Amino acid sequence: MPIHYVGKAVNWKGKKLFEILCNLKNFGAGRIVIQYSLQRYPEPCYYRVVKAEPKMDPENIEGTVWLENIFRGVNCGIETDNTVFKQDWQLIPKAEEEKFLKIPVKSKPDYKILPATKEFPPLFKLLLKQDRKLQGLSVDEVPQLPLQVVNKPFNRYRLAEPGEKPTEELSIHVCPELLIKSFEKI
């Protein structure tokens, strides 16, 4: 009889962090560990254990650990981690630690620079022109849409400063046939 698995597949691969650290001298202080789920990024992602204080419970899931977080090649500083219960941690052997430590680590990420403004979508631009015409304002000068970047912890985008050239361009893709049909109805 075939085996049928029910439920969502688990993407974790490895052990709980305290399962690893409880077997090491000084609870692994100075050693390098990785999370398997973060290895999808091309930049290096790893943690260096600074200090660990497990509660020595039967399942080895409670306690506090201070880790130096290197995320996508950027040093994010020392922080406590709340994902120690996940079975997603792997210890890097001492022979391979040198390979991780040789990779240059940045203190700030490389930002992709977006334009500060963008023109409105075609149909909205047409409505703005009609509105400006009714108000008696110049139709040639249509305002630009100001953009905002959501400020999240690992955001790699920022808006261009005045006089700065953006590295990324945003474009609005519109099907020409659909655009002509929508303008004919107005």
pLDDT at 109 over 70: no
Average pLDDT over residues 103-124: 79
Per residue in 24-36, pLDDT tens?
888 888 899 988 8
Average pLDDT over residues 116-133: 84
Confidence at 127, pLDDT banded by 50, 70, 90:
confident
Domain boundaries, the chain: 17-102, 111-185
Average pLDDT over residues 118-146: 83
Cβ neighbours of 78 (radius 10 Å): 13
pTM: 0.60
Torsion (CA) 91, 94, 154, 61 in degrees, nearest 10: 30
Please classify residue 91 by burial: count the beta carbons closer than 10 Å to its beta carbon, then call 0-12 exposed, 13-18 middle and 19+ buried. Answer: buried
Spatial distance between the Cα atoms of 183 and 45, rounded to a whole number of angstroms: 50
The DSSP letter of residue 142 is: P
